[in-house]
Amino acid sequence: MTVAKIAVTVPRETLLAVEKRRRVLGVTRSAVVTAALEAWLADETMTAEERRYLLSYLRTPETVAELRDIHAVAKAVAATWEPWDTGAAVKRPRKQRAR
């Protein structure tokens, strides 16, 4: 992979927060900037509708009660499924080659 050096200006508070966090995570400044730029590019590929949905969700995520209800429904639905066969895979006999 070819790389390029860049210089950017950021607010001092942002830089201090990034430095503190990246040290805790053990990642380089370059890795942090690369991840941020890749996330920004991914965000730019969202449609306007996807962006509205995401922003709305971030403003109002599920409550603990809603998550509890979601898990209860998922558990109830999964309980209706046929049990999975956890035994060995069924081996089919091999076809004999014509000689």
Task: Please count the structural domains in the chain.
Answer: 1
Residue 2 maps to a domain? no
Residue 97 maps to a domain? no
Nearest to 29 by CA among 51, 13, 45, 5: 5
Q: Give how far Cα 26 sits from Cα of 29, 30, 74, Å.
A: 10, 12, 37
Range of the structural domain that residue 57 is part of: 12-79
Residue 68 maps to a domain? yes
Residue 94 maps to a domain? no
**54 near 46, Cβ under 8 Å?**
yes
Residue 48 maps to a domain? yes
Residue 56 maps to a domain? yes
Residue 3 maps to a domain? no
List pLDDT tens digits, range 37-89: 998 888 777 888 988 888 898 899 889 999 999 999 999 999 999 887 766 66
pTM of the entire structure?
0.45
Q: How far apart are CA 77 and CA 71, in angstroms?
A: 10
Give the pLDDT confidence score for residue 54 in this predicted structure: 86
